[in-house]
A and B are shown apart, each in its own frame.
Chain A
Amino acid sequence: SQQGEEDPQALSIQEGENATMNCSYKTSINNLQWYRQNSGRGLVHLILIRSNEREKHSGRLRVTLDTSKKSSSLLITASRAADTASYFCATAPDYTGANSKLTFGKGITLSVRP
């Protein structure tokens, strides 16, 4: 069963704009991660936020986590054409060895127009 559900499914923006992607999940988590996938390639880890954290930053990325709403958002600021990719959220459940059961959402397709 899908744990993480991303929203929207597809997003098209102009270069320089900010892109906001959302992820909702159903059960308690140890951490939530965001990954990026360029077309047909392997996923690349972007950022991780733990269940006791509310916000994290990494370069142009900002991720928030609201455990009361079971949701997370990924913000990419000042987007570039090279940010065009699919983005996935993944949740690790709240028990020992959690990362062995990382569950991925279906992904968001982001297109950044030059």
Chain B
Amino acid sequence: EAQVTQNPRYLITVTGKKLTVTCSQNMNHEYMSWYRQDPGLGLRQIYYSMNVEVTDKGDVPEGYKVSRKEKRNFPLILESPSPNQTSLYFCATWVSNEQFFGPGTRLTVL
């Protein structure tokens, strides 16, 4: 079954404690992306990747890092999380103009 998986699904952490949200896809897609979703703001793109070792900033990249060492994985790294990064995060892949979304990771930073 084609899918995008994210882990963890829920995370509560404290300010400054580094964390990584993993994203994995089994569709062999080249393109992957991270979004955050906040009430009243819709989805905003954080980073995207066109292929292995190729990443670029989206609209709200501050405070985030990504890596793309292999095609199937695209982890999102928060080196020093802050409360304004409390949000619902989605990983997505896409091919032929259609994006496939993961189930989401709800992050709370206290």
Contact = CB atoms under 8 A, between A and B. Distances in A.
Nearest to B39: A106
The listed residue with most A CB atoms (<10 A of its CB), out of B99, B100, B106, is: B99
Interface size class of B (residues with CB under 8 A): 20 to 34
Given A42-B103, A100-B31, 6 more contacts: A40-B104, A42-B104, A88-B42, A88-B43, A100-B33, A106-B41
25 contacts: A1-B59, A33-B98, A40-B106, A41-B104, A42-B4, A42-B102, A42-B103, A42-B104, A43-B43, A43-B99, A44-B101, A45-B99, A48-B97, A88-B42, A88-B43, A99-B99, A100-B33, A101-B48, A102-B94, A103-B59, A104-B35, A104-B44, A105-B42, A106-B41, A107-B42
Nearest first, the 9 closest Cβ-Cβ pairs linking A and B are: A42-B101, A106-B42, A104-B43, A43-B101, A45-B98, A104-B42, A100-B48, A42-B103, A48-B97
